[in-house]
């Protein structure tokens, strides 16, 4: 039940409540009508028994059918002294005769010669026992008709109540749906947008006010984070460059003992890592603030992929790996050359760091868009990365600290989105990422 939508649950609750009310009303009316019909039959039986006691003779009503009613005058031993209507045999058992001899009794059971269930009244009459009985078929038919009416009418009423309940639930949840649609459009990067609030000062309005306050806190937190990242990455660039320069001077200044030289080389590598990290953070901060600035121009896909292969060729050869390019001459891109090379460089760098085998760079035109795939022959992305690989600082569970900060794919996605495109992971074999960009044309 908890897995059902709230509208369905409210409708079901409304229908169940209506069914319970109708069932209670039907039971009350049924039992009240049954009591009144029994009372009417009892009045008729009482009149007949009293008449029999007073006159000492039996007589059936001229309007009764023999199979519907009867009267009997019984001796104490059970013999039928006089009878009228149906029931040719004694209507009372020996136990019932003993009870009737002591006072009036009412019994309801079947009697031979009378249709259906019979209601009997017996009482003492001058040493005899006067008995009158009447079939309850009319009563049972009336009650059966009432039950059928409640069943049909109740079903229609429950259906109508369900439709009404669904309409009321929809109307009641309309403010929530409006808030949901607006929340789907809210961005922490744009202008401050608030969720629409209903006019009524009810629980839904208080929920909307609470969510608006939460959005405001998130915006302030996001803005502080963005400003801190931008300032920190900007301020890091200068001291890191100075340290790198000093280390290079120290490394070239003369002969050093092997441990000292190794320490200087390691420090230079860490400076390069810090410089790249600061640059990456600055790129992401700009993308979060106003969107990454790009200057698109028409580019040939093959030329850009070949340039990327030449850039990483020596490093790939050192690792005994190859980089292959497959692209038609007619495949064009509309992209910022510097940003595109940054995105491709991040993907190839990831493939060299984490992948295995040949790295393939493919470009093609599909449905008016240009697609670039970067794929290697390694084990592929770790399962824990799927669905969140393009988030910042996301790394596989088995990633080592020296293998990067987890910003490469986030930058690739930011660059693709800045061009009006997208980036996505592709299924194996190997690790593969696709960049989709609007198609360009040469001027």
pLDDT digits (tens, 9 = 90+) for 205-255: 888 888 888 888 888 887 777 777 666 666 777 787 778 787 787 777 767
**Cβ–Cβ < 8 Å for 381, 396:** yes
* Res. 409: pLDDT tops 90: no
On whether residue 177 sits in a domain, the answer given is no
Q: Are residues 272 and 331 in the same domain?
A: no
Structure tokens at 94: 């020996």
Helix/strand number for the chain, H first, E second: 8, 12
Closest CA to 76 of 88, 90, 89, 86: 90
DSSP string, 111-150: -TTSSSEEEEEEEEETTEEEEEEEE-HHHHHHHHHHHHHH
On whether residue 152 sits in a domain, the answer given is no
The pLDDT of residue 32: 94
- CB atoms inside a 10 Å sphere around CB 250: 15
pLDDT band at 442 (very low <50, low <70, confident <90, very high): very low
Separation between Cα atoms, residue 221 and residue 213, nearest integer Å: 12
Instruction: Give the CATH number of the domain where residue 246 resides.
Output: 1.10.287.130
On whether residue 181 sits in a domain, the answer given is no
Instruction: Give the CATH number of the domain where residue 402 resides.
Output: 3.30.565.10
Specify the pTM: 0.49
Last residue of a domain, one of 239, 264, 289: 289
Q: Are residues 307 and 414 in the same domain?
A: yes
On whether residue 192 sits in a domain, the answer given is no
Q: Are residues 277 and 313 in the same domain?
A: no
Last residue of a domain, one of 95, 113, 141: 141
On whether residue 17 sits in a domain, the answer given is yes
Q: Does an H or E element contain 108, and which?
A: strand 105-110
pLDDT in tens, 28-60: 999 999 999 999 999 988 888 888 877 766 555
DSSP string, 305-351: HHHHHHHHHHHHHHTT--EEEEE-TT-EEEE-HHHHHHHHHHHHHHH
Q: Are residues 228 and 333 in the same domain?
A: no
Last residue of a domain, one of 289, 311, 340: 289
pLDDT band at 400 (very low <50, low <70, confident <90, very high): very low
Q: Are residues 116 and 68 in the same domain?
A: yes
Indicate the number of domains in the chain.
Answer: 3
Q: By percentage, how much of the chain surpasses pLDDT 90?
A: 18
On whether residue 156 sits in a domain, the answer given is no
On whether residue 54 sits in a domain, the answer given is yes
CB pairs under 8 A, 24+ apart, for 302-307?
302/327, 302/328, 302/329, 302/331, 302/363, 304/333, 304/337, 304/340, 304/341, 304/344, 305/344, 305/361, 305/363, 305/372, 307/341
On whether residue 227 sits in a domain, the answer given is yes
The pLDDT of residue 47: 87
Separation between Cα atoms, residue 392 and residue 406, nearest integer Å: 6
Hey, which residues does 437 pair with through a beta bridge? 370
Q: What is the mean pLDDT of the segment spanning 137-155?
A: 92
pLDDT in tens, 6-24: 888 888 888 899 999 999 9
Q: Are residues 306 and 345 in the same domain?
A: yes
Q: Are residues 313 and 241 in the same domain?
A: no
* Res. 335: pLDDT tops 70: yes
* Res. 387: pLDDT tops 70: no
**Phi, psi of 341, deg, nearest 5:** -65, -35
The pLDDT of residue 404: 55
Closest CA to 88 of 60, 125, 114, 116: 114
* Res. 193: pLDDT tops 80: no
Q: Are residues 210 and 315 in the same domain?
A: no
The pLDDT of residue 230: 67
* Res. 402: pLDDT tops 60: no
Closest CA to 360 of 436, 434, 438, 419: 434
The pLDDT of residue 395: 60
Q: What is the mean pLDDT of the segment spanning 73-91?
A: 85
Q: Are residues 308 and 434 in the same domain?
A: yes
Q: Are residues 114 and 217 in the same domain?
A: no
Instruction: Give the CATH number of the domain where residue 82 resides.
Output: 3.30.450
The pLDDT of residue 285: 66
Residues in Cβ contact with 335 at an 8 Å cutoff, skipping those fewer than 6 apart: 294, 296, 297, 299, 419, 437, 440
- CB atoms inside a 10 Å sphere around CB 337: 16
Q: Are residues 319 and 423 in the same domain?
A: yes
* Res. 443: pLDDT tops 50: no
Separation between Cα atoms, residue 195 and residue 218, nearest integer Å: 14
The residue segments making up the domain with residue 303 are 297-438
Q: Residue 201, SS3? A: coil
* Res. 328: pLDDT tops 50: yes
Closest CA to 338 of 374, 307, 378: 307
Segment of 28-42, 67-81, 345-359 carrying the highest mean pLDDT: 28-42
**Phi, psi of 439, deg, nearest 5:** -80, 140
Q: Are residues 278 and 240 in the same domain?
A: yes
């Amino acid at each position: 039940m908890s897995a059902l939508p709230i509208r369905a649950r409210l409708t079901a609750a409304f229908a169940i409540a209506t069914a319970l009310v109708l069932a209670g009303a039907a039971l009350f009316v049924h039992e009240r009508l049954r009591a009144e019909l029994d009372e009417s039959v009892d009045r008729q039986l009482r009149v007949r028994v009293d008449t029999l006691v007073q006159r000492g003779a039996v007589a059936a009503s001229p309007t009764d059918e023999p199979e519907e009613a009867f009267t009997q005058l019984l001796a104490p031993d059970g013999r039928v002294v006089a009878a009228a209507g149906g029931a040719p045999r004694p209507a009372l058992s020996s136990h019932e005769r003993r009870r009737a001899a002591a006072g009036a009794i009412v019994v309801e059971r079947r009697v031979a010669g009378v249709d259906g269930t019979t209601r009997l009244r017996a009482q003492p009459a001058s040493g005899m026992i006067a008995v009158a009985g009447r079939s309850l078929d009319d009563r049972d038919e009336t009650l059966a008709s009432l039950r059928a009416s409640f069943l049909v009418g109740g079903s229609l009423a429950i259906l109508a109540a369900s439709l009404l309940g669904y309409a009321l639930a929809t109307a009641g949840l309309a403010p929530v749906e409006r808030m949901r649609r607006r929340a789907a459009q809210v961005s922490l990067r744009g202008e401050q947008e608030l969720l629409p609030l209903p006019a009524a000062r009810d629980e839904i309005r208080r929920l909307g006010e609470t969510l608006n306050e939460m959005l405001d806190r998130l915006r302030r937190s996001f803005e502080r984070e963005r400003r801190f990242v931008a300032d920190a990455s900007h301020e890091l660039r200068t001291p890191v460059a100075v340290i790198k320069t000093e280390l290079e001077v120290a490394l070239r200044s003369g002969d050093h003992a092997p441990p000292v030289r190794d320490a200087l080389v390691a420090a230079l590598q860490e400076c390069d890592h810090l410089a790249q990290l600061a640059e990456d953070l600055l790129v992401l901060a700009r993308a979060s603030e106003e969107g990454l600035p790009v200057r698109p121009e028409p580019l040939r896909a093959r030329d850009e992929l070949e340039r990327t292969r030449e850039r990483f060729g020596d490093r790939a050869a050192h690792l005994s790996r190859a980089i292959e390019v497959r692209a038609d001459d007619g495949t064009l891109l509309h992209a910022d050359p510097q940003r595109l090379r940054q995105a491709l460089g991040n993907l190839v760098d990831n493939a060299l760091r984490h992948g295995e085998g040949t790295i393939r760079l493919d470009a093609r035109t599909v449905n008016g868009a240009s697609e670039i795939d970067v794929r290697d022959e390694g084990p592929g992305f770790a399962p824990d990365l799927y669905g969140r690989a393009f988030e910042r600082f996301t790394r596989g569970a088995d990633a080592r600290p020296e293998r990067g900060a987890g910003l490469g794919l986030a930058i690739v996605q930011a660059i693709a989105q800045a061009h009006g495109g997208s980036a996505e992971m592709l299924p194996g074999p190997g690790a593969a990422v696709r960049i989709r960009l609007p198609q360009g044309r040469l001027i």
